A = this chain, B = another copy of it.
Amino acid sequence: MRKESVKVIIWGLGAMGKGMAEMMLKKQGFEIVGVVGRGAKIGKSMYDFLDMPKGDRPDVLIGAAEDVIVPGAADVVLLCTDSFVKGAFDKIKFVAERKINVVSSAEEMAYPKAQEPELAVEIDKIAKANGVTVLGTGINPGLMMDLLVVIFTGACESVDHITARRVNSLSPFGPAVMEEQGIGITEEDFRKKSAAGELAGHVGFAESIHMIGDAIGWKVEEVTQTMEPIVTDVDRKSPYGFAKAGDVAGCAMKGFGKVAGEIKIEMDHPQQIEPHLGGTDTGDYIIIKGTPDVNMANKPEIPGGIGTIAMCVNMIPHVINAKAGLKTMLDLPVPRAIMGDVRAMIEED
């Protein structure tokens, strides 16, 4: 087993970065060697922002990227700052050029060539030139609506049609998500903002659909998506959201992947606060029409926050072990929990 701890820097101590820090502090063999933050956070202790006491651990002060991310400082940077490849690109380049591996939680980074093929080529080049691995992952995209679909197709002689459905609760999420999803606004406002491109909704259909298509050898010709308000019949209140009866409690998105002129991959992803108040049971579903059929349900859904935190941390050993370059979940061994010392999962070369 490797003697040195697995050294990690967290870039972005929002809800995801904080959760990853707390998860790693509970594990054996990890060492958080730095946190990159901005503005007033700089100079403060990481522990000021965690729900865990520092205890006997050495302190970790939040710093600027230039000061924290230096060659040899860490094995991996967990980059928890962006949703889009364009936003994450400069930071990935910065880290890779300092010869440190990157795990990004940016949704588009789960399959960057879907939306940003040129940047994906560029990231691959930079990673290879610097001998490091770059991976984007998360619960969705990253697992529930794509990699899990792919693994089930592994039991199929042939596949005719795929539906991935994720019916989840937005209640645990904060104010940014409430705004992105249109929670609490009127149906009219929702439609206006949606038409104006002001509601992000779910980011990831293009990534999931292209990941599945490329994995099984379907050439995806076109990805389209729709967005509809989920209007509530009753008042719904979550820690950071409120929708009164008649207003919008969620955002229902669908995605469609066309292969040889036919819709072969469908994504169905209604997200809302307090779904039980609307009589909705949450869950993850995979329906494959093929030989054989697959009819999977996981109820309730894997929660988005914990799931993304776990996926990013759990992939760290695979990223350290991987060959240099831009990798996707299709390239690496299956994700797995880390219940022992993480150092035992690092291959000696």
Interface residues of A (CB under 8 A from B): 23, 26, 139, 143-144, 147-148, 150-159, 215-219, 290-292, 294-300, 302-303, 306-307, 309-311, 313-315, 329-341, 344-345
Q: Are A335 and B298 in contact (CB under 8 A)?
A: no
A315-B153 Cα distance, complex, nearest whole Å = 12
Determine the residue in chain B with the shortest Cβ distance to A140. B155
Contacts A139-B155, A151-B336, A297-B297: A302 and B310 contacting too (C-beta < 8 A)? no
A339-B151 Cα distance, complex, nearest whole Å = 14
Which residues of chain B come closer than 8 Å to A336, judged between CB atoms? 150-151, 153-154, 215-216, 330
Q: Are A333 and B335 in contact (CB under 8 A)?
A: no
Q: Are A310 and B219 in contact (CB under 8 A)?
A: no
Q: Are B215 and A310 in contact (CB under 8 A)?
A: no
A73-B148 Cα distance, complex, nearest whole Å = 35
Determine the residue in chain B with the shortest Cβ distance to A28. B217
Determine the residue in chain B with the shortest Cβ distance to A313. B157
> How many whole Å from A188's CB to the nearest CB in chain B?
36
The interface centre, meaning the residue of A26, A329, A340 with most chain B CB atoms within 10 A of its CB, is A340
Q: Are A159 and B306 in contact (CB under 8 A)?
A: no
Task: Give me the 8 closest cross-chain CB pairs, A-B, nearest first.
Answer: A217-B340, A154-B335, A153-B337, A296-B298, A217-B339, A216-B337, A155-B307, A215-B336
Q: Are A302 and B147 in contact (CB under 8 A)?
A: no
The interface centre, meaning the residue of A26, A217, A303, A330 with most chain B CB atoms within 10 A of its CB, is A217
> How many whole Å from A285's CB to the nearest CB in chain B?
10
Q: Are B292 and A302 in contact (CB under 8 A)?
A: yes
Contacts A291-B306, A295-B300: A154 and B337 contacting too (C-beta < 8 A)? yes
> How many whole Å from A304's CB to the nearest CB in chain B?
10
